[in-house]
Structure 1
Amino acid sequence: MVSYNVTVYTANLATASTFNSVSIKLVGTDGESKHTWLISLKWALSFLRGAVSSFTVSCPASIGKLVLIEIDKPRFLRYFEDSWFPAKVEVNSPEGDTYNFPIYRWITDGQVHRFREGTALRVFEDHHHLGKYSREQELEEREKDFRWDVYQEGIPHCLKAEGPLSLPDEVRFSFTKTTELLYTVSTGLAELQLKGLSGSEENWSDIESINEVFCCKQTDISEYVHDHWKEDAFFGYQFLNGVNPMLIQRCSTLPNTFPVSDDMVSLSGQCSLTDEMKRGNIFLCDYKCLDGLTPNIVNGKDQYLMAPLVLLHKTPDDKLMPIAIQLKQTPADDNPIFFPTDSEYDWLMAKIFVRGADFTEHQLNVHLMRTHLLAEVFAVSLLRNVPMVHPLYKLLVPHTRYTLQINYLGRALLISETGIITQYAACGGEGTKTLLKRSLASLTYSSLCIPDDIAARGLEDVPNFYYRDDGLKLWDIIHRCVQGVLSFYYKNDAELQKDSELQKWISDIFEYGFLSQAGKGIPQSFTTVAELVKFVTMVIFTCSAQHAAVNAGQYDYCGWMPNSPVSLQHPPPTTKGTTSEATMLQTFPNVNATVQGMSTFWVLSKHSTDFVSLGHYPEEHFSEKIPCKLIKDFHGELQELSAAIKARNENLEVPYTYLDPTEVENSVAL
Structure 2
Amino acid sequence: MTTYIVTVSTGDETHTSKFHSAFITLGGKEGWSDRTKLTSLRPPFLQGNVLTFEMACNRPLGELLAIILEKQGDPWFVAKLEVKSPLGDLYHFPVHKWITDCNKHYIQEGSDLEEKQALYRWNQFKDGLPFSMKADSSTSLPLDEHFYYKKDLDMIFTGAKAISMLKLRQWAECKSKWTNIEDIYYLYRCHRTKTSDYVYEHWKDNSFFGYQFLNGVNPMMIRRCKTLPRNFPVTDDMVFKNQNQKLTKEMEKGNIFLCDYKILDGVKPNNIKGKDQYLVAPLVLLHKTSDDKLMPIAIQLKQSPGKDNPIFLPSDTEWDWLLAKTFVRNADFNVHELSSHLLRTHLLPEVFAVALLRNIPMMHPLHKLLMPHVRYTMMINVLARERLISDDGVFKKFTSSGGEGMFTILQRALTSVTYRSLCLPDDISDRGLELLPNFYYRDDGLDLWNIIYSFVKGTLQYYYNKDEMVQEDEAVQQWLCEINSKGFPNQKNTGIPESFKTVDELVKFVTMVIFTCSAQHSAVNSGQYDFIGWMPNTPVSLERPPPSRKGEATEETLLHTFPAMDTTVQGMATVWLLSQPSTDAEYLGNYPEQRFTEDVPLENIKVFKEQLEKLSLKICQRNEGLDLPYTYLDPKNVENSVSL
User: In which range does the TM-score fall when normalised by the shorter chain?
Assistant: over 0.9
In structure 2, relative to structure 1, the CA distance for the partners of 1:470 and 1:229 (3 Å cut) is: same
User: SS where residue 297 of structure 2 aligns?
Assistant: strand
Tell me what 1:474 maps to: 448
One-letter amino acid of the counterpart of residue 403, structure 2: G
Gaps of 5+ in 1: 76-81, 117-130
Task: Tell me which moved more, 184-193 or 444-453.
Answer: 184-193
- State the match for 1:172 in structure 2: 146
- Pairs within 5 Å for 1:451-530: 451-530=425-504
Q: Please identify runs of 4+ aligned residues in structure 1 that moved more than 6 A.
A: none
Task: Return the alpha-carbon distance in structure 2 between the equivalents of residues 276 and 181 of structure 1.
Answer: 49
Q: Distance in 1 between matches of 2:242 and 2:14?
A: 60
Q: Is the 8 A contact 1:257 1:330 kept in 2?
A: yes
Residue 62 of structure 1 is aligned with which of 60, 63, 68?
Answer: 60
2:321 to 338, 347, 352: 347
One-letter identity of the residue aligned with 1:112: K
Tell me the CA shift for residue 212 of structure 1: 1.8
Distance in 1 (CA, whole Å) between partners of 2:628 and 2:509 is: 33
**Shift in Å at residue 86 of structure 1?**
2.5
Letter in 1 for 2:30: D
Residue equivalent to 1:322: 296
How big is the shift at 1:215? 1.2
Q: How far 1:194 moved relative to its partner?
A: 6.9
- The answer on 1:660 being equivalent to 2:634 is yes
Q: CA deviation at 1:196?
A: 2.8
How far did residue 630 of structure 1 move?
A: 1.4
Please identify, of 261-270 and 374-383, the stretch whose mean Cα deviation from structure 2 is larger.
261-270
Residue number in structure 2 paired with 1:370:
344
Match of 1:97 among 89, 101, 109: 89
RMSD: 1.6
5+ residue gaps in structure 2?
A: none
State how far apart, in whole Å, the 2-side matches of 1:194 and 1:553 are.
20
Q: How does 1:205-216 map to 2 (within 5 A)?
A: 205-216=179-190
**More divergent stretch after superposition (246-255 vs 54-63):** 54-63
Distance of aligned partners of 1:33 and 1:609 in 2 relative to their CA distance in 1, 3 Å threshold: same
Amino acid at match of 1:230: K
Amino acid across the alignment from 2:396: T
Range moving further from structure 2, 523-532 or 637-646: 523-532
The equivalent residue for 2:382 is 408
- Helix, strand or coil at the partner of 2:287: strand
1:593 to 567, 587, 591: 567
Counterpart for residue 69 of structure 2? 71
Distance, in Å, in 1 between the alignment partners of 2:330 and 2:54 is 65
Q: Which amino acid aligns with 2:23?
A: S
Contact 2:159 2:570 in 1 (8 A): no
2:467 & 2:50 partners in 1: Cα distance?
A: 42
Shift of the alpha carbon at 1:556?
A: 0.6
CA distance in 1, matches of 2:550, 2:185: 29
**SS class of match (1:482):** helix
Aligned to 1:34: 34
Retained in 2: the 8 A contact 1:16–1:86?
no
Shift of 1:64: 2.6
Q: What is the distance in 2 between the residues matched to 1:636 and 1:115? A: 34
User: Aligned runs of 1:196-595 on 2, under 5 Å?
Assistant: 196-266=170-240, 270-595=244-569
Q: Which moved more, 1:293-302 or 1:54-63?
A: 54-63
- CA 1:606 to 1:346, structure 2 compared with 1: closer, same or farther past 3 Å? same
- Contact 2:69–2:106 at 8 Å: present in 1 too? yes
The AA in structure 1 aligned to 2:53 is F
2:514 maps to amino acid: I
- State the shift of 1:14 in Å: 4.6
TM-score (normalizing by structure 1): 0.93
Matches of 1:635 and 1:24, distance apart in 2: 36
Structure 2: how far apart are the matches of 1:220 and 1:71?
52
**Cα offsets for 1:47-99 (capped at 9, x unmatched):** 22222322110112322333332211123xxxxxx222232223332222333
1:83 to 75, 85, 96: 75
Alignment partners' CA distance in 2, 1:264 and 1:173:
55
- Supply the distance in 2 between the matched residues of 1:14 and 1:146 (Cα, whole angstroms): 21
CA–CA distance in structure 2, aligned partners of residues 401 and 15 of structure 1: 14
CA offsets 1:517-564 (integer angstroms, 9 cap, x no match): 231111122122221111111111111111110011111111111111
TM-score, normalising length: structure 2: 0.97
State the distance in 2 between where 1:154 and 1:422 align. Answer: 19
Aligned residues: 644
Q: SS of 1:85's equivalent?
A: strand
What CA distance in whole angstroms lies between the structure 2 residues aligned with 1:658 and 1:221? 12
Deviation for aligned residue 1:433: 1.3
1:292-332: CA deviation from partner (whole Å, max 9, x where unpaired): 11111112111111111101111111110101111011111
What letter is aligned with 2:85?
A: S
Q: Distance in 2 between matches of 1:193 and 1:558?
A: 17
Is 1:15–1:83's contact at 8 Å kept on the other side of the alignment? no
How far has the Cα of 1:200 moved from its partner?
Answer: 2.1
1:456 Cα shift?
A: 0.6
The Cα offsets for residues 572-598 of structure 1, whole Å up to 9 and x where unpaired, read as 211111111111110001111111111
Partner of 1:78: none
For residues 90 and 609 of structure 2, the distance between their equivalents in structure 1, rounded to whole angstroms, comes to 25
